[in-house]
């Protein structure tokens, strides 16, 4: 189930990640064809500014996503609400201040980007910046809401939003070129309008339709902002280092080569940004699911996830590399007013050279995102700077001096191979201290992880006989580990009652129905996790409805489970029902929200849940 979930999430992430690069690609193609090579060079100059906006927005969105996935794995919903309010409020204030600064000081910002006043680049860069700046707050808030959308499993909405963004941007670009004729300023305004359109749709969804997440204007907490800071710092350093990389390469090209190479860099950047969507989509799926599994302490699931991510990402980018080499000339022609000539040949060669970095890039990205998911933010930040500043800039300087412009584009492959070797070296270093061996070293888990293979058991259930077999296995496992007969019986009872409920009332004909059971033995508690892919159903909400029912014989399984367990937590994430049941081994340990034990509430019978047309009792 989790492998399929990863592949689905990977595909959705790739589509969502295509929004920004597709907009940039559309802008670059239309700019090159209708506004000329000089305007395309201005787009290349503006790349560091776009990277800076993405760096700051990713700080909030990724920091929120990682912290939220950890809290989901632990079942801490109250903290999630305050986390989201803190993220939304702080990012709103920051993005508005950034927009104001760029609108007040556009000339200074353009000069920092390297615009040349004598050639007319300065005024063109100012125009582009003034059109782009109003959409910055929408970028910040949209990225946060998109990360939450993935947690909810709203795959269709994410795809629709991608289509809306591309359509609005393309329509705006064409209106600008053939109707309003505002040049680069109009192209940038079209991008801002596209970002604002997606933002408004997402705001409407989270205000009125989301079942999982809610925002509040009074929920800001400094402690939650610290968590966002810690989790989001690696993404800030990643995109921040891209700003430095773009600025350094632009400077290297302007001082040692001609302007044609700068225009070629714009072509390569626009094309590789599309490929980065595939790489980033793979890495983000690893980051999101890896964070949840790390929060659950699900070692087997985490191990299988990493294997799937490396294999799927490697194969996908190997195919992309082959296609890029074969289609390099048609790609280059998209950006040129003339189908032949020196510019097309140079751009096609640059695309082929750059495509060599795709496979090592995705492998390094998956490992880095896993490192980030397990909370090693400091190393992730350092590796971002090493890869995007030290390795690539030094390689570009040396290779550019030796072989000219080819060295600039080969430096990307060198830097990703070096950072992949750095990750492997870090894994070996950690293993000497933590004791993890073999492939498990690549999980980068801490020494106090607590869970081993012997502490985890999982199985899938597809029918009613499977429910009985799973229940018996749970009881046998608990007894074999020295747990009391009472605890063992309760966990077996929970397993049988809940899984029977799902099979009886949740399974539907004509689709593949699955239940995934996971049993984790912690030092002070046992956690039973029941995942199913049926229609959304919240047992805790149903239990609250049952409490007001005059018939005490309603909802046997749910009454027994919530009545006897120490802690029951329900989440609906990734379009899956996720029920976490905890039984504490220390008699003095109590749950954060004590569950009722009144025997009068533990009846039997049926009742209507009113949720998704199901009656699970």
On whether the CB atoms of residues 497 and 568 are closer than 8 A, the answer is: no
DSSP 510: T
**CA angle (373 as vertex; 423, 435 as ends), nearest 5:** 60
How high is the pLDDT of residue 510? 80
| Angle of the 183-208 helix axis to the 37-74 helix axis, nearest 10 | 20
254 with 246: CB under 8 angstroms?
no
Mean pLDDT of successive 10-residue stretches along the chain, which has 617 residues: 75 73 80 84 82 86 85 75 90 95 93 82 91 95 87 79 89 94 92 93 88 74 89 84 87 84 86 88 88 83 92 95 93 74 87 95 95 88 93 94 92 95 93 84 83 87 93 94 91 92 88 89 90 85 68 69 87 82 70 41 35 39
Coil, strand or helix: which one is 507? coil
What is the rounded CA–CA span in Å between residue 461 and residue 458? 10
Please, what is the angle between helix 183-208 and helix 155-175, to 10°?
150
DSSP bridge pairs for 531:
516, 578
Residue 548 has what pLDDT?
60
Kindly state the DSSP code that residue 611 receives in the 8-state scheme.
B
pLDDT of 231: 84
SS (H, E, C) 310-368: HHHHHHHHHHHHHHHHHCHHHHHHCCCCCCCCHHHHHHHHHHHHHHCCHHHHHHHHHHH
- Position of tokens 């892919």? 533
Instruction: Show the domains of the chain with their CATH numbers.
Output: 2-441 (no CATH), 453-601 (3.30.565.10)
User: Which residue pairs from 376-384 have beta carbons closer than 8 angstroms and sit at least 24 positions apart in sequence?
Assistant: 376/444, 377/230, 377/231, 377/233, 377/234, 379/426, 380/234, 380/237, 381/233, 381/234, 381/236, 381/237, 383/419, 383/422, 383/423, 383/426, 384/234, 384/237, 384/238, 384/240, 384/241
Give the integer Cα–Cα distance in Å for 501 and 495. 10
- The rounded distance, in Å, linking the Cα atoms of 564 and 479 is 18
Question: Beta partners for 526?
Answer: 521, 583
The three-class DSSP label of residue 49 is: helix
Instruction: Give the number of other CB atoms < 10 A from CB of residue 447.
Output: 10
Burial class of residue 363, CB neighbours in 10 A (0-12, 13-18, 19+): buried
**Do residues 86 and 225 make contact, with C-beta atoms less than 8 angstroms apart?**
yes
The answer to whether residues 348 and 328 touch, using CB atoms and an 8 Å cutoff, is yes
Tell me if 266 sits within 8 A of 246, measured CB to CB.
no
Are 566 and 582 spatial neighbours (Cβ–Cβ below 8 Å)? yes
CB 586 within 8 A of CB 524: yes
* Cβ atoms of residues 275 and 325 within 8 Å: no
Q: What is the pLDDT of residue 108?
A: 93
Question: Vertex 453, ends 578 and 528: CA angle to 5°?
Answer: 25
What integer pLDDT is reported at residue 550 of this predicted model?
A: 54
């Amino acid at each position: 189930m989790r492998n399929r979930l990863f592949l689905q999430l990977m595909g959705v992430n790739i589509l969502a990640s295509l929004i920004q690069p597709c907009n940039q690609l559309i802008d670059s193609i239309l700019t090159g064809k209708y506004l000329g090579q000089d305007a395309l060079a201005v787009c290349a100059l503006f790349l560091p500014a776009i990277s800076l906006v993405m760096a700051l927005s990713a700080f909030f969105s990724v920091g929120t996503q990682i912290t939220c996935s950890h809290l989901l794995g632990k079942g801490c919903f109250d903290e999630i609400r305050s986390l989201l309010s803190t993220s939304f409020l702080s990012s709103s204030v920051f993005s508005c201040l950034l927009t104001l600064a760029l609108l007040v000081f556009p000339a200074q910002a353009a000069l920092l980007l390297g615009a040349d006043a004598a050639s007319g680049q300065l005024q063109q860069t100012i125009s582009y910046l003034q059109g782009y700046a109003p959409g910055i707050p929408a970028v910040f808030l949209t990225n946060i809401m998109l990360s939450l959308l993935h947690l909810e499993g709203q795959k269709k909405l994410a795809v629709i939003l991608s289509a809306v963004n591309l359509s609005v941007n393309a329509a705006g670009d064409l209106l600008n070129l053939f109707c309003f004729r505002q040049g680069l300023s109009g192209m940038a305004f079209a991008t801002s309008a596209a970002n604002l359109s997606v933002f408004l749709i997402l705001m409407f969804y989270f205000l009125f339709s989301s079942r999982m997440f809610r925002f509040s204007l009074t929920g800001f907490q400094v402690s939650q902002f610290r968590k966002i800071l810690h989790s989001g710092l690696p993404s800030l350093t990643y995109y921040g280092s891209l700003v430095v990389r773009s600025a350094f390469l632009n400077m290297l090209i302007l001082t040692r080569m001609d302007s044609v190479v700068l225009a070629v860099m714009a072509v390569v950047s626009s094309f590789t940004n599309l490929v980065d969507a595939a790489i980033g989509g793979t890495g983000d799926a690893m980051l999101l699911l890896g964070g949840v599994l790390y929060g659950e302490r699900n070692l087997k699931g985490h191990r299988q996830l990493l294997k799937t991510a490396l294999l799927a990402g490697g194969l996908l980018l190997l195919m992309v590399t082959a296609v890029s080499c074969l289609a390099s000339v048609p790609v280059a022609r998209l950006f040129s007013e003339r189908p032949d000539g020196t510019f097309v040949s140079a751009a096609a060669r640059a695309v082929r050279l750059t495509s060599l970095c795709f496979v090592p890039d995705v492998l390094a990205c998956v490992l880095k995102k896993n490192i980030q998911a397990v909370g090693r933010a400091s190393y992730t930040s350092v590796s971002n700077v090493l890869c995007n500043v030290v390795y690539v800039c030094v390689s570009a300087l040396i290779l550019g001096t030796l072989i000219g412009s080819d060295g600039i584009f080969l430096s990307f492959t060198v830097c990703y191979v070096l950072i992949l070797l750095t990750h492997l070296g870090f894994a070996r270093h950690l293993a000497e201290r933590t004791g993890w061996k073999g492939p498990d070293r690549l999980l980068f888990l801490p020494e106090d992880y607590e869970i081993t293979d012997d502490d985890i058991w999982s199985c899938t259930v597809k029918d009613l006989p499977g429910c009985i077999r799973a229940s018996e296995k749970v009881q046998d496992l608990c007894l074999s580990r020295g747990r009391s007969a009472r605890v063992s019986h309760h966990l077996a009872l929970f397993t049988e009652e809940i899984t029977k409920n799902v099979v009886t009332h949740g399974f539907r004909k004509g689709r593949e129905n699955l239940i995934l059971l996971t049993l984790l033995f912690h030092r002070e508690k046992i956690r039973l996790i029941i995942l199913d892919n049926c229609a959304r159903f919240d047992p805790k909400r149903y239990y609250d409805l049952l409490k007001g029912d005059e018939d005490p014989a309603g909802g046997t399984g749910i009454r027994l489970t919530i009545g006897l367990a120490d802690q029951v937590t329900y989440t609906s994430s990734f379009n899956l029902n996720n029920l976490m049941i905890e039984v504490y081994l220390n008699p003095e340990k109590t749950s954060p929200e004590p569950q009722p034990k009144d025997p009068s509430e533990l009846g039997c019978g049926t009742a209507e849940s009113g949720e998704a047309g199901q009656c699970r009792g």
